[in-house]
Amino acid sequence: MNVIKLPLLIAIFITVSLGIALADTIKVSIPDMECEHCSKSVEDRLKLEKDITKISIDLKERVATIYTVDSVKVSDEKIRELIKDAGFEAKSIERIN
């Protein structure tokens, strides 16, 4: 049974590694995001976008970090629209790979 487990573990590792390699990280500066309620509004709105897999909010820095599987599906314009729908303006958008 150990012989079967090793190839399966290797396949899982490769799949996870490729998923991480394909992920896009996007940092969005939102200067008017001042409180927990503000950050919750932004996070809740971003969660509705199916191509966004994870959201991290740094309220002190007023930055939302967005993780996607495929950066092509979530354009800067779409991110700006989502942030605007939450009642805020995206000052800058930086893609980190």
Structure letter (DSSP) for residue 50: T
How would DSSP label each residue in 61-90?
TTEEEEEES-TTTS-HHHHHHHHHHTT---
pLDDT for 58-96, tens place per residue? 999 999 999 987 655 788 999 999 999 999 999 999 998
How would DSSP label each residue in 6-45?
HHHHHHHHHHHHHHHHH-EEEEEE-TT--SHHHHHHHHHH
Q: What angle do CA 64, 65, 68 make, to 5 degrees?
A: 130
pLDDT for 15-56, tens place per residue? 555 444 456 899 999 999 999 999 999 999 999 998 898 999
Set out the domains of the chain in order of their start, with CATH numbers: 23-96 (3.30.70.100)
Tokens of 86: 């939450």
| Greater model confidence, 8 or 52 | 52
Q: Between the CA atoms of 59, 28, 68 and 71, what dihedral angle is there, to the nearest 10 degrees?
A: 180
pLDDT (0 to 100) of residue 56: 96
Q: Is the pLDDT of residue 11 over 70?
A: no
pTM, whole model, 2 decimals?
A: 0.73
